[in-house]
């Protein structure tokens, strides 16, 4: 039996994962990364264990020049190979006079990836040159880089669209790369318009044509919502190298999402994408990269989203307690995520019990009943704990008689002045006790919530420096009884992070400042209760 298992594991086929978050991923609107951010992301990708990390265009601009210079000395990768990206030589140019190719060599990476025009239409229309010259540009460039000892991956731009119209030229482009020593030809769905059955068919045809001399790769964009499915279809057709980005970042509708593709291939199809023991890091890496780029992970993202394994109170909570696999498609811990039970006033005893087990609070029968009564009372006032897990946890702890002793607020004062026309200044003063020490802090803010957050945080941070890692990432306000206009009740939801975990707290009051203040206090207490481990 053991022999049989050994044999089975030997037969597992490897799929190379090539991450392009640092190039294609950063094309997403509203995102910009500093050189430090890029180094941090590269380290996270190596921690996850992807095979290739594409760093971008060396020499393209001062930021990229600095990034490649610092990567050469500061980036110590243990699992991943760092790749410089560029393009083939210019039409009618010479390889040894080509600036882009020279930058690729200067980057001094063992592997380089170049983009090549593999669609006849793009050669004649975009490059305004002949198909012969188009093929020569690829052949010359690959030969030059290969001759300088580089492993050469070629991204075949617009491959699928070109192949549908003129497969002869697309094959010619591939052959030019293969004959001159490319290690990989990566078929790109650059406009993202292809569908899974087309991708599988074309990749299979290419595989039949060029055989196993080089590795066939796939690079998809999500314009039809099929980038993940297209990447998997390509693997069915014979691709063994998948390019994509973490969290599907990328311009327009994004790139193929590696945080979905990797577990799909490895957990469901028995391929090997990551080294042993790395799949469990997927969720934390996804969130850390999102955090670095200041873009929260979609809660509904497959595998890594905070709702990916969340079960709402009701019929199946007690059933899932008995048999988790009846309601979860994979074990959440396989990707480093966890089961969550979402609690609302509909909650029964089983849900509260499970939530208590999840957060490690032990409750007796009367305490559970008290919590359910309190939930009903608060939800009637306008609280809603479905989204505010952190406040729920604090409520449950308080039901056992627990009280936070991190800090005690003596008073808070907020002043907003109109200084001249349309210029507002806001200032908050907070007096806080930590043990028998009193801290008084005043802060200005661009608005009242910002001012009270800054003042409270500064005061408490004096005693708890670990709070410097905690910051707000989302602030939602909702007016609950619209009919009452400015007299209505306000619900505030605050989401904070320590760089590893995210949590949401709630405050409700007719006074928007009080609602925000309650949510802020809970947010800091939760942050102090749950220091990040790494
Ligand atoms: Zn792309």
CA atoms within 13 A on the CB side of 28: 23
Contact assessment for residue 22 and residue 55, using Cβ atoms and an 8 Å cutoff: yes
Give, in degrees to the nearest 5, the angle at Cα 170 between 166 and 174. 165
155 CA to centre of ligand 1 in angstroms: 9
> Could you tell me the distance, in angstroms and rounded to a whole number, from the CA of residue 453 to the centre of ligand 1?
40
Give the CA distances from residue 64 to residues 7, 112, 247, 384, 479, in Å, rounded to whole numbers and listed in that order.
46, 15, 23, 46, 46
CA 78, CA 278: separation in Å to the nearest integer? Answer: 13
pLDDT of residue 343: 72
Instruction: Report residue 495 as tokens.
Output: 């989401």
Per-residue pLDDT of the chain (534 residues; tens, 9 = 90+): 455 555 555 579 999 999 999 999 999 888 889 999 999 999 999 999 999 999 999 988 888 999 999 999 999 999 999 999 999 999 999 999 999 999 999 999 999 999 999 999 999 999 999 999 999 999 999 999 999 999 999 999 999 999 999 999 999 999 999 999 999 999 999 999 999 999 999 999 999 999 998 999 999 999 999 999 999 999 999 999 999 999 999 999 999 999 999 999 999 999 999 999 999 999 999 988 988 887 878 989 999 998 999 887 566 666 776 777 778 999 999 999 988 777 765 667 777 888 888 888 888 888 888 888 888 888 888 888 877 889 999 999 998 889 999 999 999 999 988 877 777 889 999 999 999 999 999 999 888 888 999 999 999 988 899 888 888 888 888 887 655 555 678 889 999 988 888 899 999 998 999 999 999 999 999 999 998 764
CA of 127 to the centre of ligand 1 (A): 19
**Residue 1 confidence (pLDDT):** 46
The residues, any chain, with a CB within 8 Å of residue 306's CB and separated by 6 or more, are 297, 299, 340, 502
Instruction: Tell me the CA–centroid distance for residue 305 and ligand 1, in Å.
Output: 24
108: left (phi over 0), alpha (psi -120 to 50) or beta: left
Nearest to 431 by CA among 408, 398, 454: 408
For residue 398, how far is its CA from the centre of ligand 1 (angstroms)?
A: 51
Distance CA 33, CA 23 (A): 11
Q: In which element (H, E) is residue 438 found?
A: strand 437-445
CA distances to 79, 286, 380 from 289, in Å: 18, 5, 38
d(Cα 221, Cα 157) in Å, to the nearest integer? 12
User: Other CB atoms closer than 10 Å to residue 439's CB: what's the count?
Assistant: 18
3-state secondary structure 32-84: CCCHHHHHHHHHHHHHHCCCEEECCCCCCCHHHHHHHHHHHHHCCCCCCEEEE
Q: Do the beta carbons of residue 475 and residue 492 sit within 8 Å?
A: yes
What's the 500 CA to ligand 1 centre distance in angstroms? 28
How far is 51 from 241, CA to CA, in rounded Å?
A: 10
What is the Å distance from ligand 1's center to 256 Cα? 9
The rounded Å distance from CA 246 to ligand 1 centre is 13
Specify the pLDDT at position 426.
92
Strand partners of residue 182 = none
Which residues are within 5 Å of ligand 1 (an ion), measured at CB?
24
Instruction: Give the span between the Cα atoms of 82 and 447, in whole angstroms.
Output: 44
- 219 CA distance to ligand 1 middle (Å): 6
Query: Measured in angstroms, how far is the CA atom of residue 351 from the centroid of ligand 1?
Result: 45
Q: Measure the CA–CA gap between 434 and 300, rounded to whole angstroms.
A: 39
Calculate how far, in angstroms, residue 90's C-alpha sits from the geometric centre of ligand 1.
Answer: 20
| 380: number of Cβ within 10 Å | 9
Q: State the pLDDT at residue 325.
A: 77
Map residue 146 onto helix, strand or coil.
Answer: helix
Beta-bridge partner residues of 311: 341
Say what the pLDDT of residue 534 is.
46
Three-class SS of 109-135? CCEEEEEEECCHHHHHHHCCCCHHHHH
Q: Look at residues 516, 461, 466, 508 and name the one whose alpha carbon lies nearest to residue 489.
A: 508
Beta pairing, strands 490-497 & 502-509:
antiparallel
- CA 138 to CA 114: how far, in whole Å? 9
Ligand 1 center from residue 20 Cα (angstroms): 8
Number of neighbours of residue 465 by Cβ within 10 angstroms: 8
Expressed in angstroms and rounded, the spacing between residue 483 Cα and the centre of ligand 1 is 49
What is the distance between the alpha carbons of residues 343 and 320, in angstroms, rounded to a whole number?
Answer: 15
Between the CA of 55 and the centroid of ligand 1 the distance, in Å, is 14
Give the 3-state secondary structure of 177-217. HHHCCCCEEEEEECCCCCCHHHHHHHHHHHHHHHCCCCEEE
Per the CB < 8 A criterion, the answer to whether 271 and 14 are in contact is: yes
DSSP state of 496: E
């Amino acid at each position: 039996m053991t022999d049989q298992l050994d044999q089975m594991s030997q037969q597992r086929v490897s799929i190379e994962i090539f991450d392009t978050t640092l190039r294609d991923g950063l094309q997403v609107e509203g995102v910009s990364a500093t050189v430090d951010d890029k180094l941090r992301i590269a380290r996270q990708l190596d921690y996850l264990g992807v095979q290739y990390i594409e760093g971008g265009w060396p020499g393209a601009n001062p930021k990229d020049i600095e990034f490649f210079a610092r990567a050469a000395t500061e980036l110590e990768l243990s699992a991943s190979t760092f790749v410089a990206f560029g393009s083939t030589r210019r039409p009618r140019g010479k390889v040894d006079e080509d600036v882009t190719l020279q930058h690729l060599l200067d980057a001094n990476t063992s592997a380089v990836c170049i983009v090549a025009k593999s669609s006849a239409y793009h050669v004649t229309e975009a490059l305004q040159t002949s198909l012969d010259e188009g093929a020569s540009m690829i052949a010359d460039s690959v030969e030059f880089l290969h001759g300088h000892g580089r492993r050469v991956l070629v991204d075949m731009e617009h491959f699928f669209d070109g192949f549908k119209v003129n497969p002869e030229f697309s094959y010619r482009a591939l052959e030019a790369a293969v004959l001159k020593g490319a290690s990989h030809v990566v078929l790109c769905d650059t406009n993202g318009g292809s569908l899974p059955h087309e991708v599988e068919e074309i990749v299979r045809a290419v595989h039949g044509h060029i055989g196993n001399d080089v590795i066939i790769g796939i690079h998809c964009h999500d314009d039809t919502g099929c980038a993940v499915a297209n990447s998997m279809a390509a693997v069915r057709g014979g691709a063994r190298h998948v390019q994509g980005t973490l969290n599907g970042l990328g311009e327009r509708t994004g790139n193929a999402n590696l945080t979905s593709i990797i577990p799909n291939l490895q957990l469901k199809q028995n391929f090997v994408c990551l080294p042993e023991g790395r799949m469990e890091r997927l969720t934390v890496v996804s969130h850390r990269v999102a955090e670095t780029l200041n873009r929260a992970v979609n809660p509904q993202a497959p595998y890594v989203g905070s709702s990916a394994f969340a079960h709402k109170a009701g019929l199946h909570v007690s059933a899932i307690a008995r048999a988790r696999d009846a309601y979860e498609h994979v074990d959440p811990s396989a990707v480093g995520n966890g089961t969550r039970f979402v609690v609302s006033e509909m909650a029964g005893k089983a849900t509260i019990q499970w939530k208590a087990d999840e957060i490690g609070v032990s409750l007796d029968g009367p305490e559970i009943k008290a919590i359910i009564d309190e939930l009903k009372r608060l939800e009637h006032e306008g609280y809603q704990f479905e989204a505010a897990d952190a406040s729920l946890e604090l409520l449950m702890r308080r039901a056992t008689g627990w009280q936070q002793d991190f800090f005690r607020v003596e008073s808070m004062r907020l002043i907003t002045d109109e200084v001249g026309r349309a210029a507002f200044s806001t200032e908050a003063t907070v007096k806080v006790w930590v043990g028998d020490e009193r801290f008084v802090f005043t802060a200005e803010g661009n608005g009242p919530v910002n001012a009270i957050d800054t003042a409270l945080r500064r005061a408490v941070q004096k005693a708890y420096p670990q709070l410097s890692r905690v910051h707000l990432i989302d602030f939602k306000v909702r007016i609950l009884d619209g009919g009452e206009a400015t007299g209505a009740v306000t619900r505030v939801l605050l989401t904070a992070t320590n760089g590893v975990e995210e949590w949401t707290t709630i405050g409700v009051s007719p006074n928007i400042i009080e609602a925000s203040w309650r949510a802020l206090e809970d947010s800091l207490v939760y942050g102090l209760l749950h220091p990040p481990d790494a």
